Amino acid sequence: MEAQIQSSGSMGSVDAEYVNTAFDLIQLDHQEGQLAATKTKDPRIIDLSSKIIAQADALSPGLQAAANVEGIKAPTILTPDLAARVARLQNLSGRDFDRQYVADELALHKRAVAVFGKEDSSTKDAALRTQVETELPAVQGNLDSLTVLSSEYNPTATSS
């Protein structure tokens, strides 16, 4: 199992960064969302994590198809830093869990919006452009929702 994509060579570095980030987002959303379903009592986090998981499920087949066209072997495991985030979350509960869940998801969604935007403006690959144009609004919407939650759970993180 690979932690980063392996390309047949026709994919540019921006495309590879997009595919890696998208697969990281899908995997982290699933793992942290499953934890949120059992560890939080905040209905806003439960609802948002369910929505994010559903969007990740919708993103995955199209992204995998685009990756297959390019001969890309997509990552199947989380990168070590993201796996460490999930492990840390497993040991938290209550408001501590909520705070860390929101912070983790906010950070990854910020990164994803930036990378997806860069991909949208620079890719020459039609399949990847279609994929990013379809998914960027949903990822941005999740970022907006996470920013609102972060202002409550991590007020210093959103004040900058």
Cα→Cα distances 79→30, 48, 160, Å: 14, 23, 27
> Tokens for 78?
């989380």
pTM over 0.75: yes
Per residue in 73-111, pLDDT tens?
778 888 899 999 999 999 999 999 999 999 999 998 999
pLDDT of residue 47: 96
Question: For residue 128, how many other CB atoms are within 10 A of its CB?
Answer: 26
Q: What is the 3-state secondary structure (H, E, C) of 25-80?
A: HHHHHHHHHHHHHHHCCCHHHHHHHHHHHHHHHHHHHHHHHHHHHCCCECCCCCCH
CA distance 115 to 120: 9
pLDDT of residue 5: 40
Per residue in 131-147, pLDDT tens?
889 889 999 999 999 99
